[in-house]
Amino acid sequence: MIPAIFDGIIVRDHQDFLGQTLYIQHEQFQQNSKTLYSLYAHIAINDKLPKKIARDMPIGVIAEVPGLSPVPPHLHLSMAWLENTLDTTSINWNNIASHESVHLVDPLGFVRNNLEMTQNLNAPF
């Protein structure tokens, strides 16, 4: 199962050459007219997902992608600051790195911070 990295709102899912991709908007993270999004690819989305999701809620499972047979099944997690005026249907994996309204960020920083927060919450008093 793949958990959501943060609370968010599902704004889009679509099929493409990476298989199924899910876009989650994280409204709690805003800066300079941009909002943080997480994008999950190579997944089979849980078809009973509510529009609003909570951190750690299972959003789907890793899925094999036809045509990528030499590549083992894995999660493709991307994170980006998107301009608030951007229509997410205008971006895809072919143009995301060069789109002027998309600012990709290294998800490891967010994952590490998320793990540290979780570890601190579970630490004994």
What pLDDT, on a 0 to 100 scale, did the predictor assign at position 93?
Answer: 87
Look at the alpha carbons of 48, 53, 58, 64 in this order and tell me if their dihedral is positive or negative: positive
Distance of CA 53 to the CA centre of its chain: 12
What pLDDT, on a 0 to 100 scale, did the predictor assign at position 68?
Answer: 62
What pLDDT, on a 0 to 100 scale, did the predictor assign at position 73?
Answer: 82
What pLDDT, on a 0 to 100 scale, did the predictor assign at position 123?
Answer: 36
Mean pLDDT of successive 10-residue segments in the chain (125 residues)? 94 86 94 94 89 94 76 87 94 90 87 55 36
What pLDDT, on a 0 to 100 scale, did the predictor assign at position 35?
Answer: 95
Angstrom distance (rounded) from CA 64 to CA 95: 23
What pLDDT, on a 0 to 100 scale, did the predictor assign at position 25?
Answer: 97
C-alpha to C-alpha distances, 7 to 43, 51, 53, 115, nearest whole angstrom? 19, 11, 6, 15
Coil, strand or helix: which one is 111? helix
Residue 116: phi and psi, rounded to 5, are: -65, -40
